[in-house]
Structure 1
Amino acid sequence: MTKIPRIVHFVFGLKEQLEPFHLMHYLAIESCRQVIQPDKIFLYYHHLPYGEYWDMIRPELTLERVALSKKVEDTHYDETLVPSRYRYAHHADIVRLDVLLERGGIYADIDTLFLRPLPDYLFEKPFVIAREPHYKDELSGQLRPSLCNALMLSAPGASYVRRWRDRIASELNGSWSNHSCFLAHVLAEDYPDEVHVEPGTSFLGVPCSQAGLRAFLEGVGELDTSSSYSLHWWQHLWWEQQRTDFSTVHGGDLTLDHLRQGETPLCKLAQPFLPALELESLGTCPR
C-alpha cells in the first residue's frame, strides 16, 4: 500500500483579494510548518495574496495557480440559504480533491491551527477524514450525517478520493455540503475499507456551535483541545463584522497585539506561532 506523503496542501485566493493576507491565515501555515514539519507546503491560488504577513510566509510555500471550476461557476445559489459569495469555498472543494488525488498528502483549510504532530499510524491509511456533527441540509431542512473535509490525509490516487471526485459535479446543487461533507459520509458508508474515520475531536477541536465558538474566541465557557491534533475555527460563521450570531468577535479584531496579550483559548493556542517581528502595521485588517 502506498503511504501518505508528508506534504501539506492549502487552498487560498479563489476569490479576488481585497484585503491583505491576515495574521490568522499566516498562523495556519506557520503552525503547520512548526508542528507537522512537512517535506513541502503547497498553496494553490487563483488570485495571489498580498501583504506583510504574506511576504513573511511566502518563502515557506510552493505556489501553484489553479483554474476555477466551470461547474461551480454555473451552479445556482439561493441567496437566502447559501449566499453565492461563498462560491469560492466550492471551488476549493474540487481543488483539494484534485491535489490529493494527484500528489497525496495532508489537505488543510486555511482556518486550521495545528497543535500536535499527527500520529504515524494515520500515514499508513489510504485516506483519513474526521466525523462532524449531523448538519442541516439547507434545501431539505433535514439533519444529515457528515464527514468534515477541512483536514484530510490521502495516499496518491486513493480510490475513495477518486470516487468522490467522479461524483462531486453531479452532487453540486447549491447547498453548502451535499457534494462535499454529505457525499463523503455516503461514500464512507458504501466503501468503509477505503477510508479511516477519526472522531471529530482529532481534527476539529472547536465545536461548530455558538457555545464552541464563544469559548474559543471569547473565553466564555470551556474548550477542551487535549485530544486534538488540530483545530478548525469555522471562519465563515463569524469572520465578517456584521455576522454576530455565533460570536461578537470578527476577523478585524484579531490583531497581533490582541493575540499576543489575550487570555482566550484562541490567543493562548496561537501565541507559540506568532511572528516575533515588531511592526506596527502588522495585524491590522480593514474594517
Structure 2
Amino acid sequence: MISRIFHFIFGLKEQTEPFHLAHYLCLESCRQVNQPEAIYFHYANEPYGPLWDAIKPHLTLLPVQREPLPLAAYDKSAEGKLIAQQGWSYAHEADFIRLKVLLKHGGVYADMDTLFVAPMPSHLYQYDCVLGEEGALPDERGILRPSLCNALIVAVPGAPFVAKWLDAAYATFDGKWTSHSCQLASRLWEAHPELVHVAPRRYFYRHPWTPAGIQSLFERCDPDVRDVFSLHLCSHLWWDEHRTDFTRFHAGLLTEEYVRAGASTYAMLARRFLPTIQNAA
C-alpha cells in the first residue's frame, strides 16, 4: 500500500510576493479532502504572507536539494531558448526533484496548481505507481501520441517505474518542456506497462491544457465533475496577466472575492476551502 503522504515542491526561485490564494487552496484542499498522514512541503525559498502563516502549521517543511541542469541544453531549440529566457527552468528542476522525493519517501506528489475535489479512490493506493492520462501530445513527427502527465504521481518508495523514469530523464533532457517528463513517461509506459497503472483522464485532467479547457475552469462552469478527484490548473499558461492566448484570466483576478462569488468551475469547487476571516487577516 502506498503511504498517504502528499508531497509538494515550491520556492525554487526567490519569493517576492506573498503566498498566493491559489497555492493556499491547493494545500488546504489536500488537507481537507485527502486527510493525509502528512503533507511534506519541499522548498528552497520559504513563502511568506498571511495565507502562508495560516497553512504552515499543517505542513512538514523539508529544505530541498537543488537539481542543477545543463544550461547548454536550452540553446538547442527555440522552445528551450524561450524557457530559459522566461526563467521557467525551475519547473524542469522540479521535474527531477519530484521523482527523487517519491523514490525516497513514496506517497503522492502533486503540483502546486492543483485543487483537490474528492478523495482519491482507495484502489489507487494499491499499485506500485499511478499516473493519469492527459490530452495527446504531438511527437517529433507531429503525430499525436498518448501522454502521461507528471503533475500528479502516486508511487511506493523505490517504485521501478519511477526509477527507470529518473534514469532516462537525465539522458533525455533537451531543454524542451516535456521531453524528459510527460513524453518520456508515455514511452516507458509502452515499454513497461506492467510497472504503472494509468488512471482515466477525467480523474485528474478533466479540463485539458487548451484555451477551451482553461476557460472552462475559470470563465465557465462545468456541471459534470463526476469521477473528478483533482483539477490541474496549468497555471503557467495563464498566470501572467500579459499572456492572453489561452484566457484573459490571470493570477491577479484569482482573489477571495472571485472564489466566493464566482460561477466558474474552479470558484464553485474551491469555495469551501477559503480561509476563515481570522486566518486571512
Give the shorter-chain TM-score range. over 0.9
In the superposition, relative to structure 1, how do residues 180 and 198 fare at CA in structure 2: closer, same or farther (>3 Å)? same
User: Could you tell me how far 1:65 is from its partner in structure 2?
Assistant: 1.2
- Stretches of structure 1 that go unaligned for 5 or more consecutive residues are 283-287
In the superposition, relative to structure 1, how do residues 199 and 72 fare at CA in structure 2: closer, same or farther (>3 Å)? farther
| Letter of the 2:206 counterpart | G
What is the aligned counterpart of 2:26 among 25, 28, 38? 28
CA–CA separation in structure 2 for the residues paired with 1:141 and 1:254? 35
Matched, 1:226 2:226: yes
Deviating more after overlay: 230-239 vs 253-262: 253-262
| SS of residue in 1 equivalent to 2:18 | coil
* Equivalent position of 2:148 in the other structure: 147
* Equivalent position of 2:122 in the other structure: 120
In the superposition, relative to structure 1, how do residues 31 and 132 fare at CA in structure 2: closer, same or farther (>3 Å)? same
Q: Does the aligned pair in 2 maintain the 1:77–1:83 contact within 8 Å?
A: no
In the superposition, relative to structure 1, how do residues 151 and 223 fare at CA in structure 2: closer, same or farther (>3 Å)? farther
User: Could you tell me how far 1:93 is from its partner in structure 2?
Assistant: 0.4
| SS of residue in 2 equivalent to 1:10 | strand
Q: Does the aligned pair in 2 maintain the 1:205–1:224 contact within 8 Å?
A: no
In the superposition, relative to structure 1, how do residues 187 and 57 fare at CA in structure 2: closer, same or farther (>3 Å)? same
User: Could you tell me how far 1:74 is from its partner in structure 2?
Assistant: 5.2
Q: Deviations over 1:217-237 (max 9, x none)?
A: 011x74632221111011000
In the superposition, relative to structure 1, how do residues 15 and 74 fare at CA in structure 2: closer, same or farther (>3 Å)? farther
CA–CA separation in structure 1 for the residues paired with 2:277 and 2:95? 34
Cα root mean square deviation, aligned:
1.8
Matched, 1:258 2:258: yes
User: Could you tell me how far 1:73 is from its partner in structure 2?
Assistant: 4.8
TM-score by length of structure 2 reads 0.93
Q: Does the aligned pair in 2 maintain the 1:216–1:223 contact within 8 Å?
A: no
* Equivalent position of 2:90 in the other structure: 88
User: Could you tell me how far 1:102 is from its partner in structure 2?
Assistant: 0.5
In the superposition, relative to structure 1, how do residues 22 and 119 fare at CA in structure 2: closer, same or farther (>3 Å)? same
User: Could you tell me how far 1:124 is from its partner in structure 2?
Assistant: 0.7
* Equivalent position of 2:131 in the other structure: 129
* Equivalent position of 2:204 in the other structure: 203
- Greater helix fraction, Structure 1 or Structure 2: 2
Q: Work out the number of aligned pairs and report it.
A: 277
* Equivalent position of 1:17 in the other structure: 15
* Equivalent position of 2:48 in the other structure: 50
Identical columns (%): 44
CA–CA separation in structure 2 for the residues paired with 1:103 and 1:156? 5
In the superposition, relative to structure 1, how do residues 72 and 62 fare at CA in structure 2: closer, same or farther (>3 Å)? farther
* Equivalent position of 2:171 in the other structure: 170
* Equivalent position of 2:157 in the other structure: 156
| Letter of the 1:153 counterpart | V
* Equivalent position of 2:214 in the other structure: 213
CA–CA separation in structure 1 for the residues paired with 2:157 and 2:7? 13
Q: Does the aligned pair in 2 maintain the 1:206–1:223 contact within 8 Å?
A: no
CA–CA separation in structure 2 for the residues paired with 1:143 and 1:166? 25
| Letter of the 1:228 counterpart | V
Q: Deviations over 1:24-58 (max 9, x none)?
A: 00000000000000000001111111111111111
User: Could you tell me how far 1:253 is from its partner in structure 2?
Assistant: 0.6
Q: Does the aligned pair in 2 maintain the 1:108–1:152 contact within 8 Å?
A: yes
| Letter of the 2:237 counterpart | L
Q: Does the aligned pair in 1 maintain the 2:205–2:232 contact within 8 Å?
A: yes
CA–CA separation in structure 1 for the residues paired with 2:66 and 2:113? 21
